[in-house]
Amino acid sequence: MPQTRSAARPEVREDGKQRIAKLLARAGIASRREVERMIAEGRVALEGKALETPATLLDDLKGVTVDGKPVNPPAAARLYRFYKPAGVLTAANDPKGRPTIYDRLPPGLPRLMPVGRLDFNTEGLLLMTNDGGLKRQLELPSSGIRRIYRARAFGDVTQDQLEQLAEGVTIEGVRYGSIDANLERRTGRNCWIELTLTEGKNREVRRVLEYLGMQVSRLIRTAYGPFSVEDLAPGRIAEVGREDLFRFRQTLK
């Protein structure tokens, strides 16, 4: 039987050394995948020499620079709730010049990374953190964290059809897991539907509702785990209390 990813590449070796991509992600520089790209571009150096591989093992970040600047030791993990407006990209920058979440964040925040993504036209709760390890933990499907969405859609659908989504559905070869969907209210052929899921595949809610013949005109993520967007206005951000964050991390798988 082939080794699993975690067995083949342990997070921490017996000698305590860790891969530089993990260390830099933990320090809030970027996600592991982005760090690997930065290393390939020659932007990460150790004692002045550009690193050639993300498999480099280190005890800590002493002597490491990114774009010529020393990397500070990892700070305590922090988590923020951000109401992402519609028409904003979940990315650091966009070659097409579209606005990004970083254009909407206020000054004075630590360097933050989004937990997962929301589509350009999707609004609502986007968690953000300074800790790459926490980001990855919150994104893993195995963590089983529920995401709640409210969708305004046009078309005809019944509660019975929505309840069938609890069994999962395959659309164009892609398998979507169980979704708890409820018809909240209807005005003519427009309706609001609440959907709770744990996978969060790319454009999952839109694709599933389109599969049922619905046209989504507005999509809002209202909750991610125990964290809600209800008291935030679009474009506003608020930090999760450290005690609340600690208790939440204790519940993660």
Name the segment(s) of the chain with CATH classification 3.30.70.1560: 146-224
CA distance 195 to 175: 17
- Give me the catalytic one of 15, 59, 94, 119: 119
* pTM recorded for the entire structure: 0.76
Alpha-carbon distance of 137 to 181, in angstroms, equals 26
Query: Per residue in 147-165, pLDDT tens?
Result: 999 999 999 999 999 999 9
Span 207-227, average pLDDT: 96
Confidence at residue 15, expressed as pLDDT on a 0 to 100 scale: 62
Range(s) of the chain covered by CATH 3.10.290.10: 5-70
Q: What is the DSSP string of 76-103?
A: PP-EEEEEEPTT-BSSS--TT---BHHH
Q: What is the pLDDT of residue 23?
A: 87
Say how many residues make up the chain: 253
Q: Is 146-224 a CATH 3.30.70.1560 domain?
A: yes
**Do residues 124 and 86 lie in contact, with contact meaning Cβ atoms separated by under 8 Å?**
no
- Looking at the chain, which residues constitute the CATH 3.30.70.580 domain(s)? 79-142+227-251
Q: What architecture is the 79-142+227-251 domain classified under in CATH?
A: 2-Layer Sandwich (3.30)
**Does residue 156 have an active-site annotation?**
no
Residue 185 has pLDDT above 50, yes or no: yes
CATH annotation of 5-70: 3.10.290.10
Q: Is 198:146 a contact under the CB 8 Å cutoff? A: yes
12 has pLDDT over 60: no
How much is the CA Rg of the chain, to the nearest whole Å?
20
